[in-house]
């Protein structure tokens, strides 16, 4: 355990990228005596893929009902695309889920999950990857909402399949379709960008190779910083982000030999628990 233990009733917890690793998730929830009757679990996206138990993870989270809040990550979108007839990629571990008798119900549940969740009382906004420095919280909500509307419509299959073939715009474009592509890329794939919100999609390391592109959350004039704190995952190479005032990063890379990390959010000082791979 990485944090001191207090009363664990009526708690709000957040977990980093689960990626189909059900056993460590269960161990973490056992450590804090998670009770879905009173507690809430936030999941930072990438619920599935790479790990061996994506099916079990989705079944468990779906059955939590209102006690679970998830946002979609890039691997969750890959599951949606694959289930819609898209491609499977090297390293994917989704076939058991696709073949399950309840696959359709799980896919239906997944595509109705948001891309952004905001809790005004806790002052936390959760996304999988990041926010553009040019976005206020309200603008980010609008951008996420447009994508969510597509995912919940009859157009979800061609839209998700198209994400496998299109190049991500580096800067915010003018056209509607390209703007939606940029928005979903920021929310589910962002790591480095300039202060003006121009994204570098190629760099996946912990440190940037150029001075122009820096982690999306370090730019001091980012508009969202006056609205909320941001909880995110996605960036295993960077690991836990604990010392930045405006963000909390929880992808500690369990599927890459690291840890799965759980944080308690509804306390003055964030508490952490971790399970090693």
Instruction: Please check whether residue 187 is in contact with residue 130, taking contact to mean a CB–CB distance below 8 angstroms.
Output: yes
Planar angle of CA 193, 177, 167, nearest 5 degrees: 50
Contacts for 153-160: CB closer than 8 Å, 24+ residues apart: 156/80, 156/84, 156/111, 157/84, 157/85, 158/84, 160/77, 160/80, 160/81, 160/84, 160/86
Phi, psi of 111 (to 5 degrees): -70, -10
Give burial (CB, 10 Å; 0-12/13-18/19+) of 9. exposed
Is residue 75 flagged as an active site residue? yes
Partners of residue 241 on adjacent β-strands = 249
Phi, psi of 2 (to 5 degrees): -100, -5
Instruction: Please check whether residue 17 is in contact with residue 127, taking contact to mean a CB–CB distance below 8 angstroms.
Output: no
Q: Rg of the Cα trace of the chain?
A: 18
Q: Which residues are catalytic?
A: 75
């Amino acid at each position: 355990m990485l944090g001191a233990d207090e009363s664990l009733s009526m708690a709000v917890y957040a977990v980093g990228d689960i990626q189909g690793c059900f056993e460590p998730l269960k161990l973490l929830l056992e450590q804090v005596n998670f009770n879905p009757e009173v507690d809430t679990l936030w999941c930072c996206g990438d619920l599935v893929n790479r790990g061996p138990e994506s099916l079990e993870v989705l079944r468990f989270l779906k059955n939590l009902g209102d006690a679970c809040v998830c946002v979609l990550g890039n691997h969750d979108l890959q599951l949606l695309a694959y289930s819609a007839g898209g491609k499977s990629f090297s390293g994917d571990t989704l076939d058991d889920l696709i073949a399950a008798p309840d696959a359709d119900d799980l896919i239906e549940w997944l595509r109705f999950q948001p891309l952004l969740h905001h809790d005004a009382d806790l002052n936390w906004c959760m996304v999988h990857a990041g926010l553009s420095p040019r976005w206020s919280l309200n603008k980010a909500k609008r951008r996420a909402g447009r994508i969510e509307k597509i995912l919940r419509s009859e157009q979800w299959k061609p839209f998700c399949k198209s994400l496998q073939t299109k190049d991500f715009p580096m800067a915010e474009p003018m056209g509607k379709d390209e703007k939606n592509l940029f928005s979903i890329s920021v929310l589910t794939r962002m790591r480095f960008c300039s202060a003006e919100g121009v994204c570098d999609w190629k760099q996946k390391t912990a440190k940037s190779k150029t001075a122009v592109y820096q982690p999306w959350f370090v730019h001091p004039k980012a508009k969202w910083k006056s609205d909320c704190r941001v909880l995110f995952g996605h960036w295993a190479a960077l690991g836990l982000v604990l010392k930045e005032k405006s963000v909390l990063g929880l992808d500690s890379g369990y599927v890459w030999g690291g840890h799965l990390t759980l944080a308690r959010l509804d306390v003055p000082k964030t508490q952490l628990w971790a399970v090693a791979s």
